[in-house]
Structure 1
Amino acid sequence: MSLKNLPEDCRPREKLLAKGADSLTDAELLAIFLRTGVAGMNAIELAGYLLKDFGSLRGLMQANQTQFCQRKGLGSAKYAQLQAVLELSKRHLGETLSRDDGLTSPSHTARYLSAKLRDRPREAFLVLYLDNQHRPIRDEILFEGTINAANVYPREVVKRALDLGANAVILAHNHPSGIAEPSTADRHITARIADALALVDIRLLDHMVIGDGDVVSFAERGWI
């Protein structure tokens, strides 16, 4: 059945305007993004088919361009639109974090870092540089690959912090396994970076390990 033939309160766009985006199902939200269906399926039915095919909304959003474009009703234009939506979401979180009160809420910081790192297929080591009021100056991924003492260099973290005039930093890295529990190597490299930063009077505020839906904070555990 065409969406035009559905009752108005069942049409995704009208439902969103009347009740808010959080009232919509994953399929309804995706249907608004898709805009149109394909032969034999309206936009909601196509959205349901895609969610089942990819296993979840997250599975769809993690798909690479080849995987995405192989599915019915999708193509390069839709892939580009989806990547733009994801990037807008990350930048929105980044702007929220950059407000004067951004770091008064550790949950905002964790959400932002999780959005940046959670779905990366390889471990990535990110540094969030902060000014003297703990407002973000910039965040950068400095290292990629297995996080251990051999390929994360404290001197590079210190050098970049000095270049940016940072007074404090927050470290973060992801565990592609989805398990956020820090390893012995994670704790060792954190201690080395903290000691190196202390030599130039820059504080290490936290190291967050990003898993699948979970974030472990070194500061909350009393390790920093």
Structure 2
Amino acid sequence: MSIREWPAEERPREKLLSRGVAVLSDAELVAVLLGSGVAGRNVMDLARGLLVRFGGLRQLLDADRQAVLREPGLGPVKYAQLQALLEIGRRYLDEGIERTPALESPVAVRRYLKAMLRHEASEVFGCLFLDTKHRPLAFEILFRGTIDRASIYPREVVRRALLHNAAALIFAGYGVNSSVSLG
């Protein structure tokens, strides 16, 4: 079935515009980027197939050029769009971290974390990794849960802290019906 035949509220682009980007699945996000399907496959079928073949969103975006170009419906233009998206995301995150001053108060930390977590739709546990001057090195959502809980594995927290060479950590829990809690 062509995506034009779907109810408007189920089409990825229209869903994004009416309900916000955070409600879209990975396949719907990829479909919005691709824009159109190929002969015999609508854009959602194409997006789902890509995510299955590559193993997920990260693997699709990290795939080398030749692997992406072998996929039916993905030519150099679509590959370039995916790579541009990835680079925009990197620069967005890098710019925020590079220009962020030291977080010197609980109010500054709370403001920073609210900005990082405002689009989350489920319970999450994140970690803010800081350097020796308490400037953010990175922020990562380490665990996702249901609407009211998330399972946390200390080993993974320590592994990520060592990876970032963090001198300090701030833990953040966030739920849909709650505010940011700091630890």
TM-score interval (norm. to shorter): 0.5 to 0.7
Aligned to 1:6: 6
Query: Aligned equivalents of 1:109 and 1:14: distance in 2?
Result: 36
Q: Identity rate of aligned residues, in percent?
A: 41
Superposed CA RMSD in Å reads 2.7
Matches within 5 A, 1:69-88: 69-88=69-88
Letter of the structure 2 residue corresponding to residue 93 of structure 1: L
Aligned to 1:217: 166
Matches within 5 A, 1:1-224: 1-101=1-101, 103-104=102-103, 105=109, 106-107=128-129, 109-111=137-139, 181=159, 209-210=162-163, 217-220=166-169
**Please, which runs of 5 or more residues in structure 2 have no aligned partner?**
104-108, 110-127, 130-135, 141-155, 170-183
Give the C-alpha shift of residue 66 in structure 1.
0.7
Q: Is the 8 A contact 1:180 1:216 kept in 2?
A: no
Query: Aligned equivalents of 2:90 and 2:40: distance in 1?
Result: 35
Give the C-alpha shift of residue 100 in structure 1.
4.8
SS in structure 1 opposite 2:53?
helix
Q: Deviations over 1:62-119 (max 9, x none)?
A: 1000111111111221111111111111111122224454x4254553138xxxxxxx
Query: Aligned equivalents of 1:6 and 1:20: distance in 2?
Result: 19
Give the C-alpha shift of residue 179 in structure 1.
10
SS in structure 2 opposite 1:109?
strand
Count of aligned pairs between the two proteins: 126
TM-score by length of 1: 0.50
Aligned to 2:152: none
**Please, which runs of 5 or more residues in structure 1 have no aligned partner?**
113-177, 183-207
Q: Is the 8 A contact 1:9 1:15 kept in 2?
A: yes
Q: Is the 8 A contact 2:69 2:76 kept in 1?
A: yes
Aligned to 1:201: none
Give the C-alpha shift of residue 209 in structure 1.
3.7
Query: Aligned equivalents of 2:93 and 2:52: distance in 1?
Result: 28
Query: Aligned equivalents of 2:139 and 2:65: distance in 1?
Result: 25
TM-score by length of 2: 0.60
Letter of the structure 1 residue corresponding to residue 137 of structure 2: T
Higher relative contact order (Cα pairs below 8 Å, separated by 6+ residues) = 2
SS in structure 2 opposite 1:110?
strand
Q: Deviations over 1:117-151 (max 9, x none)?
A: xxxxxxxxxxxxxxxxxxxxxxxxxxxxxxxxxxx
